[in-house]
Amino acid sequence: MAFIHKTTSSTQTPPSLHFNAIHEIENPPAVLGFGPDPDAFREHATGNPAYLAGSWMQHPVNCDMETPVRSSDKAGMKFAARDIRLFLISNEDDAVADRQDFVVKTLGNCRVVSPLEPLLAARKRSIHNVDETDRVLYDDIASAAIARELPTAELPGFEPAGPRKRIFFDPSKTRAGIVTCGGLCPGFNDVIRALVMELHFRYGVKKVFGFRNGYQGFIARHGHPVMELAPDLVSGINEDGGTILGTSRGQQDPAEIVDCLEQLGINMLFVIGGDGTLRGALGISQEIAARGLKIAIVGVPKTIDNDIMYIDQSFGFQTAFSMASEAIRAGHSEAISSPNGVGLIKVMGRHSGFIACYAALAKSDANFVLIPEVPFHLHGPCGLLAAIQDRVQRRGHAVIVAAEGAGQTLLDETPKSTDASGNAKLGDIGLFLKQKISDHFATQGLELNLKYIDPSYLIRSVPANPFDSVYCLRLAHNAVHAAMCGRTEMVVGRWHGRFVHVPIPLAIRERNQVDPNGDLWMSVLEATGQPSLFQPDQAREVAVPGDN
């Protein structure tokens, strides 16, 4: 938990203080509490739902009051301030306020001259590059930075990615390893290729090993041979989907993995994978530290759902929603070609609906987009089924895009099992909706021509598109730069358009999701014309004018 502090103290009673002392806070808190200690205040809030969820920020000021009051009671109230702090506790999403959260671990001082030093020496400072001594600020709007009430030099920020003039490892004595884990994603092979090429040609690291089938490749009992990766072997792999190293789900014993790294003399390991993979990488890094070894663990985050935090976008995501948009195009063509046609498309997105949102915006043919972040009801005059019926009767067709994790609370059976990574197996929302829509139209005595499309495996197994290919290469280059400089227990990413180093504990702290109050979801509502919520008993919302 992170706090923002502004401690004030006075031995004399200052003049009376209006509540406008806290008006600088953009979103007023749900509860105001008073006292010398935030923990003591929390005791007053027992049973308050606002306290039981989310992260908190604390803004203390002086005020004379000994019992908590609701923020709705604050209007017109005036208090005589004493040496008592007012704690404003809010459930804002931003739990990152401590600069220590952004500190990247290093293996030691960099004393070796980098092979890239001549390139760096010739480069001039520009707004298009960030010096290694600078930081990429976490906050990108003025009000957020101002609310922290910190000097500029103390604002939280990420360490910039990129090459350094001095590096930690001697390239002539360095061995690197690469592993790919989790589900397939466009760009796996692009990252592998770029890592090998950068290590070999730019840094002169000639020994690069690939570990087969995810973390299983380190474990002796699985018997997977190690691949030696050379430029000739990887030169054309970016033309193909999948990963030449293979992949698997599930964790392995970090001690056995580190045993393997020691036996092979590996100095740096590049881990390409998602949330579960990065948790495994954290365990490996901790085992390495416990043994006092100098092995760098650097991640390249892979998540087709784009659900890793503190990264603008994960590689493969653009390819994924581009392919998903073609499924929407097909669903729209089917829908408009039949009387009362409905195209129902299920896309990937277990907990985050980014693919559904972006694919729907790319084609603008979707009329309803259903995502895990926004619950919905089926029945009632303002439920989803009534809205679909109304759309079909007015316009003759409808197109529905559903993320795989949407509407899970509506399914009859809750997930009772997990996959090898520990993820709960979801119910099939696509088939569920297909049946419910069909039953509803039959009950209403209406003709229905519904076509159901599930392009999931087509989406994840294709080669990366040109944008993702470039992005993969740049991520890989920055991963190599980080590892050669002895950075460890981190991933490379891009924040506000700048490539940065993100500590793994920060990257896996919470999940990146579509914000129902954010600009992206607003764009979806504008493009589809759907109501913001599907509720059984609310007053019907008017569709956005000009719904397609």
Using CB atoms within 10 Å of the CB of residue 299, give its burial: 0 to 12 exposed, 13 to 18 middle, 19+ buried. buried
> What letter would DSSP give residue 224?
P
How many Å apart are CA 503 and CA 485, to the nearest integer?
15
Residues 6+ apart with CB under 8 A from 386: 379, 380
Tell me 160's DSSP state.
E
Q: What residues have CB less than 8 Å from 517, skipping those under 6 apart?
A: none
Q: Which residues pair with 52 in a beta bridge?
A: none
- What 3-state DSSP class applies to 228? strand
- State the Cα–Cα distance between residues 224 and 203, nearest whole angstrom: 28
Q: What share of the chain is helix, strand, coil (3-state, %, to 5)?
A: 35, 20, 45
Name the packing angle between helices 384-395 and 429-443 (round to 10°): 60
- Residue count (the chain): 548
**Residue 305 annotated among the catalytic residues of the structure:** yes
DSSP assignment string, 17-77: EEGGGGTTSSS--SEEEESS-HHHHHHHTTT-GGGGSS--EEEEEE---SS-EEGGG-TT-
Can you count the helices (H) and strands (E) in the chain?
Answer: 15, 23
Is there a contact between 59 and 4 (Cβ–Cβ < 8 Å)?
yes
How far, in Å, CA of 207 to CA of 110, rounded? 21
Query: In the structure encoding, which two tokens stand for residue 213, read together?
Result: 């089938």
Identify the CA nearest to 353 among candidates 403, 424, 395: 403
Sign of the dihedral defined by the CA atoms of residues 524, 530, 536, 538, in that order: positive
User: If you search the block for the tokens 């999931």, which residue do you land on?
Assistant: 456
- SS3 of 317-348: HHHHHHHHHHHHHHHHHHHHCCCCEEEEEEEC
The active-site residue out of 190, 275, 305, 468 is: 305
Catalytic residue numbers, as ranges: 305
